[in-house]
């Protein structure tokens, strides 16, 4: 696909609904087909449709070959079933090319020794399709062929080889995937798929209706793609699997495969292996590539399940209690293949076996039902097929990392343990590992003495570009606290490419992060699934397994001490040679010396590889005046790609020994571009100096200091990986999850191929110059120059150092202007900010307006209109003080504009008007991952609901409000306890992919249909495609945040290095939305260091309609950019909760009012000058922008704005701004009926009782009803049980979401994910149907993520719940009979009673509330995360009484006989109960108790956490 | 990083000084040194701002790395503190004593609190450095073979000389007076800057290889042309020595002096260079200081030490706003508020909005001065407020001596300037380009000579920057 503008096809995402149904005994029937279609249709809401409201993103079904059907349909004779192959072909629509393609197919079949039997043109019905799908429809053909001597696996393998031959022939003819594609070619299965929504499937393929069309299994997939560009081949299932999820590490996985391709050998393929390779088509989707590799492994001789266990291994870290053989299996295979990391529910089949498998995090749902009549149904949701409750034998869900297979050959179900017991002992992996694995003695022991040369230290530090900030702000805190340093107030320093100061290459790279389409992971609370362990060394043939495969060095983490490197260099190991190559270039050879240095380096490394070295150390030790260091990242990536190109990459590990490396970002980048281990020797040497100079505690020994530093880097690496949703270092390595900003295309192509760099920039000459500049400055003999490091100025402002947008002068002018209401001063301020000659920091600084025909200013849209487009950005009450937060709200309300609550909830008192008529209510309410205070009442009291997917300062990360900032009022609005730390998880636990976001939007629209829904994203490559997905999810507005923004606290590396500028993200979003014809349906807002009217106009021309102000609004209120928000010491009372400092707050609403008016006035002036009369006219007019050549300097010359200034709407007149936003489809909404039936309750508080049936597609039931209750009765709601509804059936997602007080929902049946999401005081009861016979406490009755973010109410669940039960509960009381992994995570209040087993990682990050667990096998403490909680016996009478009362209630409401047993034997059962009590919470409770007795106010503590 | 909550935990504590009676009995500095621990506590108040305003155009003109050395002083890392201080400031011992400390009025703490005692910390660091022997010469390792003449040995000339020497040039400093130091030595009274402080620094400069020639008046003793021929470049750093006169009746009576004349004379006396008969003495006299600025204040202090009977200080401008709070209402700008110097505390009667109209006397000697009061009106159209005499407000005082501290207008237009035919700007200072070069190639000017009267920190900064330009000029 071509790449117009900024759109990058490789960043398309999809997500979906998947499912299968199978007759265990292999009995084929047409009923299975019908049921498959039924499943597909019932999952329709998980898919999406395009802007024509009809074209689906794709759906498909894999079935066994219907032999009798084909026999009937073809005119030629078919061999017996299983002895011929059927290929499904998507060929070009026009007849002649199609004919040509068919001729080709026939000839290749013959060439490969097969016999061609005939063609069948597949009947189809294009009328049922959407326009986009119809226009791109291929011609559909089935080919029948045989290989006389072959059958079973041999035949399948030959058909595979044939397909690869055909695909390669097609490529040779220049046919892309859209011209020539083979959905399936097999003797066992056939795949019908295409670009439609599920309901169109059956009408499009009439074959499906034929009763002879039979199969014992059907595997289906419904796709939701972020974009709707016509692509039939991307519909799923693929040849072996259907995938719901994302592969985050795709680039690395591809590279690792490509590198080994040429060296593949296989006994089963013999010579024919050459026909198969290269196996990967890099243009295909992630799922498709994964399928290709799975196919190769499987065809190469491993079983399907074995291959999957290699590609998607379970976590096997030390925290898991697991079989030694299984651990050894995974460890052995980690030396062969790195995980394909990312959320994944995988359904797979080879036509005989069919099964499902889940990624290690369990981030996608997979529910199954086993019936007594011999079927297994597995799908993303339960209830996709109607099954008689009596017929149900078992209900379950796939747990993280687990697998389930139905073998129709053996006619039985094979469960996880059986599968893995067999495969892990297939070969003596444990023995092989013990005999071959290298664990260098002494490596990773306490570090030995560091050799250190104080005489040259400063010279070397300067040569590697160290500043005082590096030592003081980066390394010192890491050594002191074993964690990364924290900062605040975003980044306003110049982009690396705009900085006239030399910059390290690292600063040109931005970390990618997960948003919407896949979730980030919590590296702290869920670190048990994460791993930094890796095997490094020479890798062997992928299609083989021998002991030598694991003759590699095991590294527990990738940082090596100076001692480790010494040991490695001197190690004498059989079959493991370690070599070293200098990473230096000669300084005196003039221009191009760096290039030639790199070339020599590549050759030197390759030579070592050829000589059989398993590990090569690239070292820049030994820089001298004559020899300068090659930038380590440049060296690593260049060597890496050189070896990939030569097919030798897997033959050696690259270890980097460099003085340049110091921060987390450096380590992460090096690993991402090819390093296996890194030794930052200069950091370790500088520790001496730091200790001598008193930065470090004298009592801290140097070995400990080194270990602290390593720990900090390790934690940082986990964080960088986790923000991309990557769990293991093994898969992170080489994954290139970065975007470059400011590197030229030729530079990228040569040294960093595969990396996105969209605005061009500098090349190798600049780096050579900058390295030499630093180098000579350092080696300058003058002692005067020698003795001092530069100040830096990257993190804090220094007048003579790096440029920053906010200068002292600008702040002063702005504050004076708004205080005195002086527009002239304001113009001086904007002149200072916009002064690009002096202060070029941003991309927009390089742009200027093209002259237009000015219009008289009176004719331009009024200031009062323009101002409506301005909002204040989200800043939580908690991160900023009550005074500052309310001042912003009051000001914006006075203007009729919107302020944003931020994620901290909002005090209900603010919903009332103040005495003077002002309102302190935030019109925009944020819905963030922690859901603090997100109740039904909060939702109805807003005009806009903003789902925060990421924030500029630290996209992809969670956060925490330290206990000392949580005072009484904050605790109140967040439903927490004063003094107890509050954690915001990195992901929204109800948004693991795009269809989940769509679900949350649907939930919110239901609770408050009047509010507009917005989604906040952060700029990075691919944000446009995500935004398209957001538009398809029917959000009203998408907010593109620049990565530079952010007012809160965040790790410095995230503030500086994650995400990209809003100019690029906004332009991409606008382009992709216009191209997809979606722009008219959604508004765009932009924020991130927007400071002037000029910024606003540039934003508008690039496509934004609305604008957010964060930092500048705070400066208006008195902020002076102390960047101390994280320390609670804001001296102007803004970002602090300390009462003493809060009293220093001097901001006034008038200042903000003046500021917004000034901005609007300036915008209006510019509009007049440019000749725009209305704002809308201006939106998206990139043609009115051009590059300001006048402000360029040596680094900006290569910057290319053509991508940003690309206009997709040149030919067609597509809307450039939003004209109307779509309303949600309420066809399956039960609430309209509920509201009608409960009218008397709503109006007069009379009791109502309702009964109805429910299906899985009835989603968010109760949300709208709750909204009605909250609107009328506020947070108090109705008296208990006023509205009682009993449902029968399978409840859809988000059942009982935000259920308001006074509503009781009872379900006889089961429920899906997000049951009781945000429960706001209502009551939920669920139990299996009366007639069912399975044991509920051993079966899954509701899905994952139940009661997420509940703030009050009660839930009684007769049966087990899935993963992540009661995550972020802050007030609800729940009784359940068993839960999956990560139960009660991040809980801050409420009570949870588990009457049975829990999964692992229970109570991780739980800082409040209490859980009670029935621990009959005494193993609960092995599954509980004990970092923040204590487990204790129940002794207090209060606890016992509470527990008994609620179990009794549970019995009464659900009729649970299991719970009845506990009640009956109370005295015997009680001792088995344990109480899980958060440590900090207990302390806080004690403190509150003491204080109550003293009747004094809670006093802010001045505890220092990051000093 | 200082101490994170230091500004909340500790109160500002400025220099401690001797009592008035004690200190006016001598000419020595009277600040009582503060212990290292107390300085560290004061340094702990620094918030290490994300944007340190002390280091902005509102703050230190030298761009001193204030937050960095504050932190080091707090942590007792005096050596490194000195190293960071030395990066930007050649003579912290001068600025630490004399600077009006715009850094402190721009300190972010002074938004709503008392600022960090930056000047005091600076002084403590440099005094510690001298005491520990860390202030050592850095003679250049290589010579460039180029020579520079620096004319004038005030702060600008000295800073330029040091920078140029360290870059490897041969530097000769010419000074018309008997000793090196310019205004530092002859303009500033000893109670503000003891002259041993200058001598101590001179040792370093001499060891670095700078040649000093005193009692040489360029243009008179050595011709400008000869100088120009003998040196590769010339830097004029002669200051702005031309005083503003007060042309009113009776001006030529005896007993009326320019402040500078008076102060220089007093300094020579204190230095033992002249004896009592040559001293312009205020003893037992009623002294009128005209001009309310710092020089006037120095005159007040000197007069009191000489035993004046009564001292008046009159200023024509209105009395600035009185401000009793510790924060700066005009942050980060230097506040226009009433300042009371230590000299004022020593005894003087200050009046504002007073215009001196005439002097009168007998035997050619002043005996009386006549004044009237004026009103300043800001309502007019022009930016400058209008001044109007208040009718019938005239009054007279018996006066024995008048010191004119009404400021300086520009540099002295001596032979050097005339012979080199240097061009002036509209204020009659030397016209220089952005590289400090005058209208004659190779001739540079820095400090007050180029920009008119200003602060010592600005002079040091100008000297350093001019040195950079001269270096570039010489090396290209």
Q: What is the pLDDT of residue A229?
A: 67
- What is the mean predicted confidence (pLDDT) over A845-856? 93
pLDDT at A1505: 28
**For strand B408-410 and strand B242-243, is the pairing parallel, antiparallel, or unpaired?**
antiparallel
In terms of Cα–Cα distance, which of A453, A422, A293, A486 is closest to A1128?
Answer: A486
Question: Using an 8 Å Cβ cutoff, are B413 and B420 in contact?
Answer: no
Note the pLDDT tens digit of each residue in A277-324: 888 887 788 899 999 999 999 999 999 999 999 999 999 988 888 999
Query: Is the domain of B254 the same as that of B401?
Result: yes
Candidates A812, A1050, A1132, A1505, partner chain B, best to mutate (most B CBs within 10 A): A812
Residue-wise pLDDT for A6-21, tens only, equals 887 777 777 688 999 9
Q: How far apart are CA B393 and CA A1271, in angstroms?
A: 75
Structure confidence at residue A784 (pLDDT): 52
Q: Which residues of A touch B333 (CB under 8 A)?
A: 812
Can you tell me the distance from the alpha carbon of A962 to that of B460, in angstroms, rounded to the nearest whole number? 47
> What percent of chain A clears pLDDT 70, i.e. is strictly above it?
97
Q: Collapse the DSSP code of B183 into the 3-class scheme (helix H, G, I; strand E, B; otherwise coil) and give the result.
A: helix
Residues in chain B: 476
Q: Does B445 lie in the same domain as B383? A: no
Separation in Å, CA of B288 to nearest CA in chain A: 40
Read off the pLDDT of residues B69-86 as tens digits, 9 standing for 90 and up: 999 999 999 999 999 999
Question: Measured between alpha carbons, how far is A1345 from A157 in angstroms, rounded to an integer?
Answer: 42
Q: How far apart are CA A1092 and CA A827, in angstroms?
A: 9
Tell me A851's DSSP state: P
Chain B nearest CA to A1503, separation (Å): 10
pLDDT at A1499 over 50: no
Q: How far apart are CA B10 and CA A1463, in angstroms?
A: 62
Peptide bond just before A806 cis, omega within 30 deg: no
DSSP A804: B
* Structural domain harbouring B43: 6-132
CB-CB neighbors (< 8 A) of B75 in chain A:
694-695
pLDDT given for residue A1 in this prediction: 37
Give pLDDT, residue A1497: 33
Which residues of chain B lie closer than 8 angstroms to A808, CB-CB? 51, 53, 56-59, 106, 332
Query: How far is A1019 from A496, CA to CA, in rounded Å?
Result: 17
Contact indicator for B59, B333 with CB cutoff of 8 Å: no
Q: What is the pLDDT of residues B292-315, one digit of tens each?
A: 999 999 999 999 999 999 999 999
**Residues of B with Cβ-Cβ distance to A1123 under 8 angstroms:** 49-50
Longest dimension (CA), chain A: 95
Judged by DSSP in three states, A87 sits in strand
Strand partners, A184: A88
Query: Is the CB of residue B113 less than 8 Å away from at least one CB of chain A?
Result: yes
Q: What secondary structure does DSSP assign to A1008-1025, as a single string?
A: -TTSEEEEEEE--TTHHH
Q: How far apart are CA B17 and CA B343, in angstroms?
A: 12
- DSSP letters of A863-925? HHHHGGGEEEPP--BTTB-HHHHHHHHHHHHHHT-B-B-GGG---GGGGSBPTTS-B---SEE
User: Would the CB atoms of B77 and A1129 count as touching at under 8 Å?
Assistant: no
**Residue that is last in its domain, among B363, B378, B406:** B406
Of the pLDDT bands very low, low, confident and very high (cuts 50, 70, 90), residue A1506 is very low
B63 with A799: Cβ contact below 8 A: yes
CB atoms within 10 A of CB B424: 15
| Helix, strand, or coil (residue A1264) | helix
Q: Is A1502–B5 a contact, with Cβ atoms under 8 angstroms apart?
A: yes
- Please check whether residue B142 lies inside any domain of the structure: no
Q: Which residues of A are known catalytic residues?
A: 16
For chain A, how many residues are written? 1507
Cβ pair A804:B8 closer than 8 A: no
Q: Is the pLDDT reported for residue A145 higher than 90?
A: yes
**Is B37 domain-assigned?**
yes
Residue B137 maps to a domain? no
> In angstroms, rounded to a whole number, what is the distance separating the alpha carbons of residues A984 and B150?
64
Residue B380 has pLDDT above 70, yes or no: no
Pair B268, B400 in one domain: yes
Q: Are A900 and A970 in contact (CB under 8 A)?
A: no
Exposure string over A207-237, b if 16+ CB within 10 A, otherwise e: bbeeeebbbbbbbbbbbbbbbbbbbbbbbbb
Please say if the pLDDT value at position A2 is more than 50: no
* Residue A1105, number of CB atoms within 10 A of its CB: 21
Q: Which helix (H) or strand (E) holds A1106?
A: strand A1106-1109
Residue B424: per-residue pLDDT: 94
Last residue of a domain, one of B406, B423, B439: B406
Contact A1124 B47 (CB under 8 A): yes
Map residue A1283 onto helix, strand or coil.
strand
Residues B77 and B97 in one domain: yes
Does residue A47 have a pLDDT over 80? no
Please give the average per-residue pLDDT across A676-687, as a whole number.
96
pLDDT of residue A3: 58
A1369-1401 pLDDT, tens per residue? Answer: 999 999 999 999 999 999 999 999 999 999 999
Domain at B321, CATH number: 3.50.50.60
Q: Are residues B178 and B260 in the same domain?
A: no
Task: Please check whether residues B256 and B312 belong to one and the same domain.
Answer: yes
Sign, CA torsion A1030/A1031/A1035/A1037? positive
Which residues in chain B touch residue A811, judged by CB atoms under 8 angstroms apart? 51
> Is the Cα torsion angle A495, A1060, A630, A622 positive or negative in sign?
positive
Kindly give the interhelix angle for A454-463 and A681-692, rounded to the nearest 10 degrees: 120
CA distance A137 to A122: 13
* pLDDT over threshold 90, residue A1222: no
**In this structure, are B211 and B159 located in the same domain?**
yes
> C-alpha dihedral over A328, A331, A335, A338, to 10 degrees?
140
- A88 beta partners: A142, A184
Task: Please choose, from the candidates A157, A137, A133, A172, the residue with its C-alpha nearest in 3D space to the C-alpha of residue A53.
Answer: A133
Return the CA Rg of chain B.
23
Q: For B404-436, what is each residue's pLDDT tens digit?
A: 999 999 999 999 999 999 999 999 999 999 999
Average pLDDT over residues A1478-1505: 57
Rounded mean pLDDT of B261-266? 96
Q: Tell which wins on pLDDT, A229 or B263.
A: B263
For residue A777, the model assigns a pLDDT of 87
Total tally of structural domains belonging to chain B: 3
Q: Is the dihedral of CA B270, B272, B275, B280 positive or negative?
A: negative
CA A1346 to chain centre: 21
**Domain assignment of residue B165, yes or no:** yes
- Residues A339-395: pLDDT tens digits? 998 889 999 999 999 999 999 988 889 999 999 999 999 999 999 999 999 999 999
Q: For residue range B427-462, list pLDDT tens digits in order.
A: 999 999 999 999 999 999 999 999 899 999 999 999
- Asked which of A1-15, A505-519, A821-835, B273-287 is least confident by mean pLDDT, the reply is A1-15
- Residue B69's pLDDT is what? 95
pLDDT digits (tens, 9 = 90+) for A167-194: 999 999 999 888 999 999 999 999 999 9
Is residue A446 scored above 50 in pLDDT? yes
> How do residues B268-277 score in pLDDT, each as one tens digit?
999 999 999 9
Calculate helix-pair angle for A764-779, A454-463, nearest 10 degrees.
Answer: 150
Residue B141 falls within a domain, yes or no?
Answer: no
Tell whether B343 and B442 lie within a shared domain.
Answer: no
- The string of pLDDT tens digits covering residues A1332-1351 is 999 999 999 999 999 999 99
- The residues that bridge with B235 in the sheet, in sequence order, are B150, B444
Considering the domain boundaries, does residue B139 fall inside one? no
> Closest partner residue to A1129 among B5, B55, B83, by Cβ?
B5
- Closest in A472, A784, A797 to B51, CB measured: A797
Q: Whole-angstrom Cα distance, residue A549 to residue A1052?
A: 40
Which alpha helices (DSSP H) does A218-363 contain, by range? 250-260, 273-276, 286-299, 304-311, 324-334
In the predicted model, what is the mean pLDDT of chain A?
91
**A808 to B5: CB separation less than 8 angstroms, yes or no:** no
- What does the pLDDT look like over A632-679, one tens digit per residue? 999 999 999 999 999 999 999 999 999 999 999 999 999 999 999 999
CB contacts, 8 Å: A1120 with chain B: 49, 51, 53, 108, 111
pLDDT > 60? residue A805: yes
Q: How many Å apart are CA A983 and CA A980, to the nearest integer?
A: 10
pLDDT category of residue A1145 using cuts at 50, 70 and 90: very high
> Does the predicted TM-score (pTM) go above 0.90?
yes
- Whether B81 is in a domain gets the answer yes
Record: contact A1131-B87, CB cut-off 8 A: no
- Using CA atoms, how far residue A1410 sits from A975, A1043, A1276, B130, in Å, is 14, 38, 24, 64
Phi-psi region of B255 (alpha: psi -120 to 50; beta: other; left: phi over 0): left
Q: Is residue B211 part of a domain?
A: yes
What are the b/e assignments for A1243-1272, b being 16+ CB within 10 Å?
A: eeeeebebeeebbbbbbbbbbbbbbbbbbe
* Listed residue (B303, B291, B403, B400) closest to B352, CA to CA: B291
CA-based nearest residue in chain A for residue B137: A784
Average the pLDDT over each of A476-485, A1309-1318, A1462-1471, B354-363 and give the range with the smallest value: A476-485
**Are B237 and B271 in the same domain?**
no
Q: What are the tens digits of pLDDT across the range A901-916?
A: 998 889 999 999 999 9
Mind listing the pLDDT tens digit for each residue in A693-714? 888 988 889 899 999 999 999 9
Given a cut of 80, whether residue A95 has pLDDT beyond it is yes
How many angstroms separate the first and last alpha carbons of chain B?
A: 41
Could you tell me if the ipTM is greater than 0.85? yes
- Co-location of B234 and B311 in the same domain: no
Model pLDDT, residue A1503: 26
The whole-chain average pLDDT of chain B stands at 94
Instruction: Please check whether residues B366 and B308 belong to one and the same domain.
Output: yes
Residues linked to residue B374 through DSSP beta bridges, in sequence order: B389
Are B302 and B367 members of one domain?
Answer: yes
Task: In whole angstroms, give the CA distance from residue A1407 to residue A960.
Answer: 11
The angle subtended at Cα A1391 by Cα A1389 and Cα A1397, nearest 5°, is 125
Q: Which of B406, B436, B458 is the last residue of a domain?
A: B406
């Amino acid at each position: 696909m071509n790449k117009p503008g900024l759109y990058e096809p490789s960043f398309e995402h999809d997500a979906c609904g998947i499912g299968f149904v199978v007759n265990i005994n292999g009995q084929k029937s047409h009923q299975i087909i019908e049921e498959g279609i039924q499943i597909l249709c019932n999952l329709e809401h998980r898919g999406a449709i395009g802007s024509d409201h009809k074209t689906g993103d794709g759906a498909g079904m894999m079935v066994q070959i219907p032999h009798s059907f084909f026999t009937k349909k073809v005119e030629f004779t078919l061999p017996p079933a299983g002895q011929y192959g059927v290929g499904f072909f998507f060929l070009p629509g026009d007849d002649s090319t199609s004919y040509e393609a068919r001729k080709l197919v026939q000839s290749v079949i013959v060439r490969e020794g097969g016999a061609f039997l005939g063609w069948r043109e597949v009947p189809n019905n294009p009328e049922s399709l959407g326009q986009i799908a119809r226009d791109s429809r291929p011609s559909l053909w089935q080919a029948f062929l045989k290989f006389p001597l072959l059958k079973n696996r041999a035949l399948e393998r030959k058909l595979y080889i044939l397909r690869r031959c055909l695909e390669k022939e097609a490529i040779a003819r220049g046919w892309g995937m859209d011209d020539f594609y083979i959905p399936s070619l097999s003797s066992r299965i056939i795949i019908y798929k295409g670009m439609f929504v599920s309901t169109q499937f059956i009408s499009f393929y009439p074959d499906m209706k034929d009763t002879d069309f039979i199969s014992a299994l059907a595997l289906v997939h419904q796709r939701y793609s972020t974009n709707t560009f016509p692509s039939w081949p991307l519909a799923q299932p693929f040849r072996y699997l259907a995938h719901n999820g994302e592969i985050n590490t795709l680039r690395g996985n591809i590279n690792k495969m490509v590198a080994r391709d040429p060296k593949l050998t296989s006994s089963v393929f013999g010579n024919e292996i050459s026909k198969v390779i290269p196996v990967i088509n890099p243009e295909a989707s992630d799922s498709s590539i994964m399928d290709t590799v799975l196919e190769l492994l499987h065809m190469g001789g491993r079983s399907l399940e074995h291959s999957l266990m290699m590609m998607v291994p379970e976590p096997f870290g030390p925290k898991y209690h697991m079989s030694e053989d299984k651990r050894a299996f995974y460890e052995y295979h980690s030396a062969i293949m790195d995980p394909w990391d990312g959320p994944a529910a995988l359904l797979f089949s080879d036509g005989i076996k069919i099964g499902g498998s889940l990624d290690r995090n369990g981030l996608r749902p997979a529910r199954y039902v086993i019936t007594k009549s011999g079927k297994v149904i597995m799908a993303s949701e339960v209830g996709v097929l109607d099954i008689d409750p009596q017929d149900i034998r078992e209900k379950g869900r796939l747990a993280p990392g687990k697998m389930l297979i139905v073998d129709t050959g053996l006619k039985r179900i094979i469960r996880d343990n059986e599968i893995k017991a067999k495969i892990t002992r297939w070969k003596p992996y444990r023995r092989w590992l013990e005999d071959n694995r290298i664990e260098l003695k002494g490596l990773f022991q306490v570090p030995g003495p560091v050799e250190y040369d104080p005489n040259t230290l400063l010279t070397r530090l300067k040569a590697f570009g160290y500043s005082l900030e590096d030592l003081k702000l980066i390394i010192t805190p890491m050594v002191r606290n074993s964690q990364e340093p924290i900062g605040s107030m975003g980044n306003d320093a110049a982009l690396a490419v705009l900085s006239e100061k030399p910059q390290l290459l690292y600063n040109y790279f931005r970390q990618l992060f997960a948003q919407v389409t896949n979730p980030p992971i919590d590296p702290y609370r869920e670190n048990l699934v994460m791993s930094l362990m890796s095997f490094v060394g020479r890798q062997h043939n992928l299609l083989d397994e021998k002991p030598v495969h694991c003759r590699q060095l095991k590294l527990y983490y990738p940082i090596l001490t100076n001692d480790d490197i010494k040991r490695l260099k001197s190690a004498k190991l059989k079959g493991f040679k370690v070599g070293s190559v200098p990473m230096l270039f000669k300084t005196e050879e003039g221009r191009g010396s760096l290039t030639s240095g790199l070339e020599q380096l590549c050759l030197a490394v390759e030579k070592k590889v050829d000589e059989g070295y398993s590990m090569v150390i690239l070292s820049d030790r030994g820089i001298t005046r004559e020899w300068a260091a090659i930038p380590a990242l440049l060296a690593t990536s260049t060597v890496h790609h050189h070896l990939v190109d030569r097919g030798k990459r897997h033959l050696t590990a690259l270890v980097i020994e460099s003085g340049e490396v110091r921060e987390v970002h450096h380590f992460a980048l090096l690993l991402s571009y090819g390093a296996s281990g890194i030794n930052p020797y200069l950091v370790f040497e500088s520790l001496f100096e730091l200790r001598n100079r008193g930065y470090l505690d004298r009592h801290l020994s140097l070995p400990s200091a080194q270990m602290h530093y390593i720990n900090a880097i390790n934690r940082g690496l986990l964080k960088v990986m986790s923000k991309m949703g990557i769990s293991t270092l093994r898969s992170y390595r080489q994954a290139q999850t970065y975007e470059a900003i400011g590197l030229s295309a030729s530079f990228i192509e040569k040294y960093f191929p595969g990396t996105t760099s969209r605005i061009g920039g500098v090349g190798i000459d600049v780096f050579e110059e900058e390295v030499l500049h630093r180098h000579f400055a350092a080696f300058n003999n003058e002692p005067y120059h020698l003795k001092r490091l530069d100040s830096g100025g990257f993190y804090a402002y220094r007048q003579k150092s790096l440029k920053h947008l906010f200068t002292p002068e600008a702040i002063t002018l702005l504050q004076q202007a708004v205080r005195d209401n002086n527009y002239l001063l304001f113009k001086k301020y904007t002149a200072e900010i916009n002064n690009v000659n002096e202060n070029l920091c941003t991309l927009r600084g390089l742009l200027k307006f093209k002259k237009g025909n000015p219009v008289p200013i009176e004719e331009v849209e009024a200031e009062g209109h323009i101002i409506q487009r301005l909002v204040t950005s989200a800043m939580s009450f908690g991160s900023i003080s009550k005074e500052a937060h309310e001042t912003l709200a009051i000001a914006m309300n006075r203007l009729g504009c919107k302020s944003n609550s931020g994620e901290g909830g909002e005090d209900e008192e603010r919903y009332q008007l103040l005495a003077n008529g002002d309102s302190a209510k935030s019109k925009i309410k944020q819905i963030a991952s922690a859901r603090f205070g997100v109740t039904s009442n909060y939702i109805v009291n807003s005009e806009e609901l903003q789902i925060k997917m990421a924030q500029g300062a630290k996209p992809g990360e969670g956060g925490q409000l330290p206990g000392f900032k949580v005072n009484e009022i904050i605790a109140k609005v967040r439903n927490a306890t004063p003094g107890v730390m509050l954690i915001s998880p990195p992901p929204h636990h109800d948004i693991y992919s795009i269809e989940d976001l769509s679900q949350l939007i649907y939930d919110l629209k239901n609770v408050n249909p009047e509010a507009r829904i917005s989604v906040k994203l952060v700029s990075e490559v691919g944000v446009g495609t995500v935004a398209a997905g957001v538009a398809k999810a029917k959000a009203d507005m998408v907010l593109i945040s620049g990565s530079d923004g952010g007012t809160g606290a965040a790790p410095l590396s995230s503030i500086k290095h994650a995400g990209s500028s809003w100019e690029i993200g906004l332009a991409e979003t606008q382009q992709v939305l216009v191209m997809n014809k979606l722009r008219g349906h959604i508004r765009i807002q932009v924020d991130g260091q927007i400071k002037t009217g000029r910024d606003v106009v540039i934003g508008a021309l690039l496509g934004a309609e609305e604008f957010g102000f964060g930092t500048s609004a705070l400066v208006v209120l008195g902020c002076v950019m102390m960047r101390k928000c994280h320390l609670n010491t804001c001296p102007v009372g803004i970002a602090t909760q300390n009462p003493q400092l809060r009293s220093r707050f001097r901001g006034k609403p008038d200042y903000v009012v003046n500021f917004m008016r000034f901005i609007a006035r300036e915008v209006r002036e510019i509009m007049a000058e440019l000749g725009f009369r209305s704002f809308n006219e201006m939106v998206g007019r990139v043609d009115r922008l051009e590059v300001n050549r006048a402000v360029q300097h040596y680094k900006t010359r290569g910057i290319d704005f053509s991508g940003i200034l690309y206009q997709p709407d040149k030919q067609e007149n597509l809307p450039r701004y939003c004209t109307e936003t779509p309303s949600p489809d309420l066809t399956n909404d039960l609430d309209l009926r509920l509201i009608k039936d409960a009218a008397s309750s709503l109006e007069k508080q009379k009791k109502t009782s309702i009964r109805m049936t429910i299906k899985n597609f009835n989603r968010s039931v109760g949300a709208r009803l709750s909204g009605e209750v909250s609107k009328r009765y506020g947070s108090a709601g109705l008296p208990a049980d006023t509205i009682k509804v009993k449902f029968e059936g399978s409840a859809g997602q988000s059942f009982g979401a935000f259920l308001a007080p006074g509503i009781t929902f009872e379900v006889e049946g089961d429920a899906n994910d997000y049951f009781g999401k945000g429960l706001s005081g209502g009551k939920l009861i669920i139990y299996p149907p009366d007639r069912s016979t399975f044991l509920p406490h051993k079966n899954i009755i509701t899905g994952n993520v139940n009661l997420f973010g509940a703030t009050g109410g009660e839930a009684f669940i007769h049966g087990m719940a899935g993963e992540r039960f009661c995550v972020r509960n802050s007030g609800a009381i729940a009784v359940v009979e068993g839960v999956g992994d990560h139960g009660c995570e991040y809980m801050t209040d409420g009570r949870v009673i588990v009457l049975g087993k829990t999964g692992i990682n229970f109570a991780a990050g739980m800082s409040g509330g209490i859980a009670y667990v029935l621990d009959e096998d005494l193993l609960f403490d092995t599954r509980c995360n004990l970092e923040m909680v204590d487990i204790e016996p129940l002794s207090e009478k209060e606890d016992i009484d509470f527990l008994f009362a609620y179990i009794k209630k549970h019995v009464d409401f659900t009729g649970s006989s299991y719970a009845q047993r506990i009640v009956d034997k109370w005295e015997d059962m009680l001792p088995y109960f344990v109480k899980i009590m958060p440590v900090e919470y207990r302390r806080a409770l004690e403190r509150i108790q003491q204080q109550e007795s003293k009747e004094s106010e809670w006093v802010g503590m001045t505890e220092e956490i990051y000093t | 990083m200082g101490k994170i909550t230091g500004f909340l935990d500790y109160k500002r504590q400025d220099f401690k000084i001797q009592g008035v009676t004690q200190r006016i009995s001598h000419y020595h500095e009277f600040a009582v040194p503060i212990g290292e621990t107390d300085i560290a506590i004061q340094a702990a108040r620094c918030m290490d701002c994300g944007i340190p305003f002390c280091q902005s155009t509102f703050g230190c003109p030298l761009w001193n790395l204030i937050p960095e050395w504050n932190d080091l002083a707090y942590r007792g890392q005096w050596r490194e503190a000195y190293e960071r201080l030395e990066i930007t400031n050649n003579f912290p011992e001068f600025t630490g004593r004399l600077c009006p400390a715009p850094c402190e009025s721009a300190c972010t703490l002074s938004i709503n609190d008392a600022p960090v005692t930056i000047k005091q910390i600076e002084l403590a660091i440099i005094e510690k450095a001298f005491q520990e022997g860390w202030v050592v010469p850095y003679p250049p390792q290589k010579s460039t073979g180029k020579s520079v003449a620096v004319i004038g040995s005030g702060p600008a000339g000295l800073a330029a000389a040091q920078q140029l020497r360290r870059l490897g040039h041969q530097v000769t400093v010419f000074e018309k007076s008997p000793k090196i130091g310019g205004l530092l030595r002859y303009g500033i009274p000893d109670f503000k800057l003891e002259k041993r402080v200058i001598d101590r620094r001179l040792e370093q400069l001499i060891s670095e290889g700078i040649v000093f020639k005193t009692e040489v008046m360029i243009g008179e003793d050595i011709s400008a042309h000869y100088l120009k021929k003998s040196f590769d470049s010339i830097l004029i750093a002669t200051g702005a020595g031309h005083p503003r006169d007060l042309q009113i009746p009776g001006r030529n009576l005896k007993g009326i002096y320019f402040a500078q004349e008076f102060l220089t004379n007093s300094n020579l006396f204190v230095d033992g260079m002249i004896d009592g008969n040559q001293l312009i003495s205020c003893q037992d006299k009623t002294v009128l200081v005209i001009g309310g600025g710092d020089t006037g204040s120095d005159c007040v202090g000197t007069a009191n030490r000489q035993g004046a009977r009564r001292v008046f200080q009159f200023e024509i401008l209105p009395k600035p706003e009185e401000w009793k709070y510790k924060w700066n209402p005009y942050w980060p700008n230097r506040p226009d508020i009433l300042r009371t110097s230590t000299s004022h505390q020593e005894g003087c009667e200050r009046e504002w909005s007073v215009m001196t109209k005439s002097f009168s006397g007998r035997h050619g000697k002043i005996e009386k001065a006549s004044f009237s009061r004026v009103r300043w009106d800001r309502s007019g159209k022009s930016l400058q407020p209008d001044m109007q005499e208040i009718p019938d407000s005239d009054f007279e005082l018996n006066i024995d001596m008048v010191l004119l501290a009404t400021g300086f207008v520009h540099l002295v237009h001596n032979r050097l300037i005339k012979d080199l035919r240097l061009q002036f700007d509209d204020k009659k200072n030397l016209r220089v380009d952005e590289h400090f070069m005058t209208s004659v190639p190779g001739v540079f000017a820095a400090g007050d000579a180029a920009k008119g009267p200003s602060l010592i920190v600005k002079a040091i900064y100008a000297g350093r920057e001019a040195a950079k330009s001269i270096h570039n000029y010489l090396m290209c």
